[in-house]
Amino acid sequence: MQGGQQMFEGPWMFRSVLCLLAAGVALPTEARWPCPPPCYCGAPLPEVNCSGGRLAAVPAAVPKEATLLNLSRNSIKTLPRQQFRALTQLLHLDLSDNLLVLVEAEAFLGMQSLLTLNVSRNQLKIIPVGAFAGLTSLRFLDVSGNQILVFLDFTFSDLAALQFFTAADNDLVFVAHQAFAGLTTLQELHLDGCNLTVVPTEALSQLSVLRGLHFHRLGLTTLPNYSLHHLVHLKDLRISHCPRLEALLGNSLFGLNLTSLTIKYCNLNGVPYIPLHHLVYLEFLDLSFNPITYIHGNLLGDLLRLQEFHLVGASLVRIEIGAFKGLAHLKLLNVSRNLLTTLEAGSFDSVQTLRSLGLDGNPLACDCRLLWILRKRLRLDFGGNPPTCTTSAELQGWDFLDFSEDELPNLLTCRQPRILRGRLQDVRVDQGHTVLFYCSSEGDPRPSVRWLNPRLKYVPSVGRIRTLSNGSLEVRYAQPHDSGTYVCVASNAAGNDSLPVSLYVRAFSLSSKNNFLPQGWSAFPSDSPSLNGNQKLQFDVKTLLIAATIGFLSFFSSVTVCFVFMFFWSKSKGQIKHTATIAYVPRSTMSKSNGATGNYMETSRFTMKLI
Ligand SMILES: *[C@@H]1O[C@H](CO)[C@@H](O)[C@H](O)[C@H]1NC(C)=O
Ligand SMILES: *[C@@H]1O[C@H](CO)[C@@H](O)[C@H](O)[C@H]1NC(C)=O
Ligand SMILES: *[C@@H]1O[C@H](CO)[C@@H](O)[C@H](O)[C@H]1NC(C)=O
Ligand SMILES: *[C@@H]1O[C@H](CO)[C@@H](O)[C@H](O)[C@H]1NC(C)=O
Ligand SMILES: *[C@@H]1O[C@H](CO)[C@@H](O)[C@H](O)[C@H]1NC(C)=O
Ligand SMILES: *[C@@H]1O[C@H](CO)[C@@H](O)[C@H](O)[C@H]1NC(C)=O
Ligand SMILES: *[C@@H]1O[C@H](CO)[C@@H](O)[C@H](O)[C@H]1NC(C)=O
Ligand SMILES: *[C@@H]1O[C@H](CO)[C@@H](O)[C@H](O)[C@H]1NC(C)=O
Ligand SMILES: *[C@@H]1O[C@H](CO)[C@@H](O)[C@H](O)[C@H]1NC(C)=O
């Protein structure tokens, strides 16, 4: 050790003396200190710019007073130990865009003032433990654009003052559990474009004061439970361009107290309501560019401090009423470039707080549901792109700033629903039948139809009694206790209309036949006989016997025909056979020509005496 250092020191001293002399001669007026060629030394600021100087090694005689040394865009391949030992006052060292393949341990030893170190865009495959020894003041470290595969245990343990660390564009496949040990002041970490497929939970748990964590272009497929739960000071989590990330597990954000969350350009197909719900301090949420189709009602209410919600370029078809209920501070909603036909005031807790609204790039139906936006349009910031009417013929292409105040009431209108009252729908059926009640309605926008059961509960769209997508009510295998009055309710933004129907289900009794339904009752019984109780009963022993006999007889007659045929055929040939073995496949697939061969595995046989 000692010897190597000595050997290294000798030529270094020698070279620096030479350089000092050379520089002193070459640039006597430009700097108060000698400047190593081909560098430029700035005056009066002690900055040394060796960028683009085709250097293959760190120049020897860098003045001790230098605070910035720019070695970017050179051809430096290795950094031996204690390379910069004399530069105790250096604050910024830029080694980006070199050909570094090796940084020896203690390469930076002695640079106790260094604040920023940039070794981006080199060819490092590994950082040896101790490479950053002595950098006790370092605040910013950039190792992006290398080919680093692993971060070893304790690699960064000397960087007790590090605040910002980026490791973008490496080939990282593994981060050792203790890799980040010692980074007790790290505030922001960027892991970007790595081949990591799992969250390095153990390693991250060392970063006790981390405030910002960015994961970009990682191969994550899911964010597992408790992935980040030690990061109690994390405020800003950004995950983007993770096309394989389809889900956040229920407890994946457990332990976090975020104010800002971004998950964009991933593959989430729904708003992660459950993982988010404890983030009561969240102010900023960006889920843009995920294939999310719905924002459901009443599921985001826990995010009571949310101010901005971005969901641009997703596949949103609907924002339900009450979607933002409870979000009393929502100032900005950006749902540009989706598939929304409307956005109702009822989706918000209150539209009073809203300042910015991105709604352009949606196939909007301009009717009374959007009137609230028109009324507020001069006080809303549309981000330069006001919404446009796309679906209604007469307003096609109009944007919301084209309308004048007095036009408003007559332009965006709705028509209240009206249920078409056709035939009287009072139905009496026997137990076990299936009944269908129709409910067709008209209105603008097209009303949504729901049914209330006799207990005034909404009938769901699944189950024995259900609401079909076309608005009909279906009661399958009707039971006596299904009897009562059902109400069809058609509603849209303009109001509602309702229609009661009644169902009477007669309890099944043995003597009943199918003939009691009086004329004029409009029932819609199921056609499927297997579901029909009456027909099942008729399937008695007698029927079975008859059916069996018919089957047996037909089998026997074909066998007989077969024998008669064989008899005459063999007689005409002159050779009389007196017995024959008949093989047959039970499922009456008996074949006459194969009859005597008995080839089939599953055949039965019997022998018969011929006349
Ligand atoms: C450093 O030197 C390079 C090459 O001479 C020059 O292009 C660059 O602008 C200089 N940078 C600064 C910060 O002076
Ligand atoms: C080093 O010089 C390059 C240009 O040659 C410049 O882009 C870079 O910002 C400089 N680095 C620092 C730390 O000033
Ligand atoms: C490091 O250098 C690269 C290339 O010059 C630059 O893009 C990057 O911003 C620098 N990093 C820091 C932290 O300044
Ligand atoms: C990392 O991923 C890139 C691109 O997907 C690939 O080219 C590279 O070979 C991978 N590296 C490793 C070590 O798997
Ligand atoms: C993650 O947490 C959720 C919510 O508690 C739980 O339902 C789920 O089973 C957990 N998944 C795993 C893989 O532990
Ligand atoms: C969560 O963060 C907010 C502000 O960001 C802070 O006021 C609050 O005390 C934190 N809560 C906990 C439990 O740390
Ligand atoms: C919504 O986001 C888009 C795309 O990022 C942007 O162009 C637009 O200005 C934003 N709108 C608002 C109101 O912030
Ligand atoms: C509604 O759908 C059901 C089942 O798909 C069908 O039997 C019924 O005729 C439909 N009703 C109307 C009014 O189209
Ligand atoms: C129908 O509208 C009336 C007021 O117009 C309202 O009181 C009632 O609750 C609505 N009914 C339903 C089922 O939405």
Q: Answer with the residue of higher pLDDT: 373 or 33.
A: 373
pLDDT in the model for residue 43: 65
Report if residue 475 sits inside a domain. Answer: yes
44 pLDDT tier (thresholds 50, 70, 90): low
CA angle 485, 486, 491 (to 5 degrees): 140
Report if residue 608 sits inside a domain. Answer: no
pLDDT in the model for residue 564: 54
The answer to whether the beta carbons of residues 261 and 288 sit under 8 Å apart is no
The number of the ligand nearest the C-alpha atom of 474 reads 8
Query: Which atom of ligand 7 is nearest the CA belonging to 356?
Result: 13
Find the mean pLDDT for residues 91-107.
94
37 pLDDT tier (thresholds 50, 70, 90): confident
The number of the ligand nearest the C-alpha atom of 71 reads 2
pLDDT at 571 over 80: no
Domain span holding position 448: 417-514
Query: Which atom of ligand 6 is nearest the CA belonging to 232?
Result: 14
- Ligand 5 centroid to Cα of residue 252, in Å, is 8
Ligand 1 proximal residues by C-beta, below 6 Å: 40, 49, 51-52
The pLDDT tens digits of the residues spanning 489-544 come to: 999 888 899 999 999 999 876 544 444 443 334 334 333 333 333 334 444 445 45
Round to whole Å and give the CA distance between 596 and 574: 18
Report if residue 205 sits inside a domain. Answer: no
Round to whole Å and give the CA distance between 240 and 268: 11
Type of residue numbered 545:
L
Cβ density class 346-367: b for 16+ within 10 Å, e for less: bbbbebeebeebbbbbbebbbb
For the domain that residue 465 is a member of, what is the CATH number?
2.60.40.10
- Ligand 6 centroid to Cα of residue 259, in Å, is 9
CA angle 83, 29, 23 (to 5 degrees): 35
Report if residue 128 sits inside a domain. Answer: no
* Number of domains making up the chain: 1
For ligand 6, atom 4, the nearest C-alpha belongs to 281
Report if residue 540 sits inside a domain. Answer: no
Round to whole Å and give the CA distance between 351 and 329: 10
Report if residue 472 sits inside a domain. Answer: yes
Find the mean pLDDT for residues 465-471.
93
For ligand 4, atom 12, the nearest C-alpha belongs to 171
The number of the ligand nearest the C-alpha atom of 73 reads 2
pLDDT at 296 over 90: yes
Average pLDDT, the chain: 81
Report if residue 104 sits inside a domain. Answer: no
Task: Output DSSP code: residue 18.
Answer: H
**Percent of the chain residues topping a pLDDT of 70:** 76
Report if residue 375 sits inside a domain. Answer: no
Q: Which alpha helices (H) appear in 449-540, and where do they start and end?
A: 533-537
The pLDDT tens digits of the residues spanning 225-235 come to: 999 999 999 99
Burial (CB count within 10 angstroms: exposed 0-12, middle 13-18, buried 19+), residue 406: exposed
Strand partners of residue 486: 501
The pLDDT tens digits of the residues spanning 58-81 come to: 988 888 888 999 999 999 999 999
Mutation choice for ligand 8 from 442, 461, 472, 499, CB with most ligand atoms inside 8 A: 472
pLDDT in the model for residue 154: 94
pLDDT in the model for residue 555: 55
| Residue for token pair 């108060």 | 32
Round to whole Å and give the CA distance between 37 and 16: 11
Residue 31 has which token pair? 């700097």
pLDDT in the model for residue 81: 92
At 334 the three-state DSSP class reads strand
pTM: 0.74
CA 132 to chain centre: 39
- Ligand 8 centroid to Cα of residue 469, in Å, is 9
Find the mean pLDDT for residues 156-180.
93
pLDDT at 364 over 50: yes
At 15 the three-state DSSP class reads helix
pLDDT in the model for residue 568: 54
Cite the beta strand spans of 177-259 per DSSP E: 188-192, 212-216, 222-223, 236-242, 247-248
CA 474 to chain centre: 35
The answer to whether the beta carbons of residues 518 and 421 sit under 8 Å apart is no
